[in-house]
Amino acid sequence: MLGVGSRKTAVVSSKAHARKAAGEGSRAAVLSLYAVPPTEELSLQEFEELALKRVQLLKAIAAAKAVGKSGKELSLAVGKAVDAFLPFRATSRDEAEREDHISHFILRLAYCRTEELRRWFLTHECELLRWRIGRESPAAVEAFLARENLNYPSLTNEELARFEAQLTTISTIMKRKDDRAALAQAAESSLASLKTTGKLAKDAGGVGGGIRLTAGSYFKVPFEQAIELVQRRQVFVNGGWAYVRRKDMVAIVVAEFRSRLSRSLAVASKALPQLSEDERVVPLLTNLSRQYLGPDYSKTKVEGAISLDQIDTLAKRSMPLCMSNLHSHLRSAHHLKHGGRRQYGLFLKDIGLSMEDSLNFWRAEFTQMMTLDKFSKSYAYSIRHNYGKEGRRVESRAFSCVRIITANAPGPADHHGCPFRHFSPEKLAHTLTAKGVGGAGLKEILNLIAGHHYQIACTRYFELTHPDAETVQPIEHPNAFFTQSEAYWRAKQGSSGEEAKPKLRLASWAVC
């Protein structure tokens, strides 16, 4: 049955199982760009097991990135996840490859259906590949490149002589950048800091900081395939070629994989509707794709559960910092940019603001800055779209913390994102103080964000603003923060018998 799907998603290549030949004798881990789909039959049970393993692996990678891990820390986390879910077994290399291969292709089917799923799958598959390449020897990487038909010319001696000055310049820039990154990383833990900075100092002083260039230490890559390096000006570009350092080739290969996989997913998504031959597979795939998104609050919300007149009160007492921040910017500037409209709009939808109320809410603010006509033309559409009343008529779901923290970082005039992740410590401290969080609690939160523990910091913020809350669930979703908070306040009201009916705020919503 997997064979059915595979034919449809096949990427052109006739070199079946070239990996076997090249893998002989090497004890390297699984390394593949998955050019050839599997052809074997497998049981439904194995199908499900393998798929779940890989989903868990990718989820573990996503979680590590969500808490801000990078560099060595991320590498450790990925390694742990691989060991836990798709371990390389020294005794049976073939079996490990088989599992890796099949599970990758099952997830292609599960994650090709929407752009958001594709992006998630792509991002974390790329991270996995990056990790795998990173721990190979140069020889193994070269063998892998050859086997995947990625042949880039290395520099001739003549080119080396011609561009020596430029290449040395880039090397120096990159070395300084790497050193800075290493220092920053080392500063993370004081113990590591002692070791690494000592080593760095030695490096810099010892060999006189000299950089030796050899022709073989560079590859010539068409600039279109080195766009990340080009974009950041981290590569010498001449005559349409990017002169890529050997150690930067990982980025090139990962980018190439990303682009190939992206194309394959697009093809697979078109083939998917015809894949209903085995009806047992479809619900499995659907279920798999749901795995990463966290709970779907659009399914459990009660439309109209909250009304316009409550929003200001709710923003103050029950919304997570990311949302109350958006709310106050909207109230004061009467405008939010795209990212903010989307993050806040979907949140409001899934805590139960009806579409009518939503339209009224945004209109009341935006029309203080623009004509009603402009609002109706430019903004009302996307609000209805959020509710699944426009376009593809699919209701969008509120963003999870992982999504808010990792995707679409806010630009200069943006207010979306996660304050714990995206605010400067000063601004965060200021904001928290305004929310009544100070002293030891504030210090604790700032320490948490210094260690990139954004969600834990948010959870701590919840605890501090909800004293004596019974059991606080770790915050993984803004809507969960909200629900948890509302439950808390309801319980409080119940016990104290206070009437805390929110006051009307007439000034801005009673228009149009």
Partner 1 sequence: MSDTPPANATSSPSPMSPEKDESRGTKRRVDEVVAGEASQVNVAPTELSDEFPELLRFYYSRLFPFAPFFEWLSYGDVSGTSVAAATGLGAAGVGEAAAGGRGDGMGLQGSYVSRREFSFTLEDDVYIRYQSFASAAELEAEIRKKRPFKIDIGAVYNAPPKDHKTIPAGAFKPLEKELVFDIDMTDYDEVRTCCSGADICTKCWPFMTIAIRVLDTALREDFGFEHLLWVYSGRRGIHCWVCDPRARALSQNGRSAVAEYLNLIRGSEDSGRKVFVTTPMHPSVERAAAVVEEYFEELVLEEQGMFGCAERWDKILPLISDESARAGIRNALIQQDGDNALGVWEGIKDMYAQNSYRSADLTEIMLQFCYPRLDIHVSKGLNHLLKSPFCVHPKTGRVCVPLDPARVADFSPFDVPTVSQLAAELTEAAKAPAPSADEPSPMDVASQSGRAYSLTSLKPYFGYFENVFLKSLLASIREIKQEAAIREGVIDF
Annotated binding site for [4Fe-4S] cluster: 322, 401, 418, 458
Phi-psi region of 451 (alpha: psi -120 to 50; beta: other; left: phi over 0): alpha
For partner 1, the closer of residues 334 and 505 by Cβ is 334
Q: How far is the CB of 355 from partner 1 (least distance, A)?
A: 15
For partner 1, the closer of residues 239 and 467 by Cβ is 239
Interacting residues with partner 1 between 356 and 415 (CB under 8 A): 374, 377-382, 385-386, 391-392, 394, 396, 412-413
Size of the site for partner 1 (CB under 8 A): 51
**Contacts for 137 with CB less than 8 Å, ≥ 6 apart:** 28
Distance CA 37, CA 11 (A): 8
Measured CA to CA in angstroms, residue 282 lies from 115, 163, 277, 288, 294 at distances of 18, 56, 9, 10, 20
Of the candidates 79, 119, 125, 77, the residue with the CA atom closest to the CA atom of residue 100? 125
Q: How far is the CB of 259 from partner 1 (least distance, A)?
A: 5
Window of 14-22, 58-66, 179-187, 223-231 that interacts with partner 1 by CB under 8 A = 223-231
Per-residue binding string, partner 1, 168-187, x by CB under 8 A, is: -xx-xx--x-----------
Per-residue binding string, partner 1, 108-147, x by CB under 8 A, is: -------xx-------------------------------
Show binding-site residues: 322, 401, 418, 458
Write out the DSSP string of 223-264.
Answer: GGGGHHHHHTT-SEEETTEEEEEGGGHHHHHHHHHHHHHHHH
Window of 125-133, 197-205, 232-240, 418-426 that interacts with partner 1 by CB under 8 A = 232-240
For partner 1, the closer of residues 170 and 284 by Cβ is 170
- The C-alpha angle with vertex 499 and arms to 494 and 504, in degrees rounded to 5, equals 135
Measured CA to CA in angstroms, residue 204 lies from 176, 197, 358 at distances of 10, 10, 59
Distance CA 30, CA 62 (A): 20
Q: How far is the CB of 360 from partner 1 (least distance, A)?
A: 18
For partner 1, the closer of residues 196 and 234 by Cβ is 234
Is 508 a binder of partner 1 (CB under 8 A)? no
In the DSSP assignment, the letter for residue 293 is T
Window of 38-46, 99-107, 221-229, 474-482 that interacts with partner 1 by CB under 8 A = 221-229
The phi and psi torsions of 24 (rounded to 5 degrees) equal -55, 130
For partner 1, the closer of residues 135 and 338 by Cβ is 338
**Contacts for 473 with CB less than 8 Å, ≥ 6 apart:** 480, 484
Q: How far is the CB of 203 from partner 1 (least distance, A)?
A: 19
Distance CA 207, CA 205 (A): 6
For partner 1, the closer of residues 68 and 417 by Cβ is 417
Q: How far is the CB of 147 from partner 1 (least distance, A)?
A: 20
Asked if 322 and 417 count as a contact pair (C-beta separation under 8 A), the reply is yes
Interacting residues with partner 1 between 322 and 361 (CB under 8 A): 337-338, 342
Structure tokens at 454: 């954004």
List the one residue from 227, 250, 333, 429 that touches partner 1 (CB under 8 A).
Answer: 227
Q: How far is the CB of 218 from partner 1 (least distance, A)?
A: 15
Q: How far is the CB of 498 from partner 1 (least distance, A)?
A: 40
Write out the DSSP string of 198-229.
Answer: HHHHHHHHHTTT-----GGGEEEEEGGGGHHH
> What's the length of the chain?
512
Distance CA 85, CA 95 (A): 14
Distance CA 403, CA 66 (A): 8
For partner 1, the closer of residues 147 and 335 by Cβ is 335
Interacting residues with partner 1 between 250 and 289 (CB under 8 A): 258-259, 262-263, 265-267, 270
**Contacts for 14 with CB less than 8 Å, ≥ 6 apart:** none
Q: How far is the CB of 459 from partner 1 (least distance, A)?
A: 28
For partner 1, the closer of residues 58 and 265 by Cβ is 265
> Residue written as tokens 């919503």?
509
Q: How far is the CB of 221 from partner 1 (least distance, A)?
A: 10
The phi and psi torsions of 416 (rounded to 5 degrees) equal -80, -175
Interacting residues with partner 1 between 479 and 498 (CB under 8 A): none
Asked if 512 and 367 count as a contact pair (C-beta separation under 8 A), the reply is yes
For partner 1, the closer of residues 135 and 374 by Cβ is 374
Per-residue binding string, partner 1, 410-439, x by CB under 8 A, is: --xx--------------------------
List the one residue from 96, 237, 333, 487 that touches partner 1 (CB under 8 A).
Answer: 237
Asked if 167 and 218 count as a contact pair (C-beta separation under 8 A), the reply is yes
For partner 1, the closer of residues 237 and 472 by Cβ is 237
Is 239 a binder of partner 1 (CB under 8 A)? yes
Measured CA to CA in angstroms, residue 374 lies from 366, 371, 377, 378, 424 at distances of 9, 5, 5, 6, 34
Q: How far is the CB of 377 from partner 1 (least distance, A)?
A: 6
Per CB under 8 A, residues contacting partner 1 are 115-116, 165-166, 169-170, 172-173, 176, 222-225, 227-228, 230-233, 236-241, 258-259, 262-263, 265-267, 270, 337-338, 342, 374, 377-382, 385-386, 391-392, 394, 396, 412-413
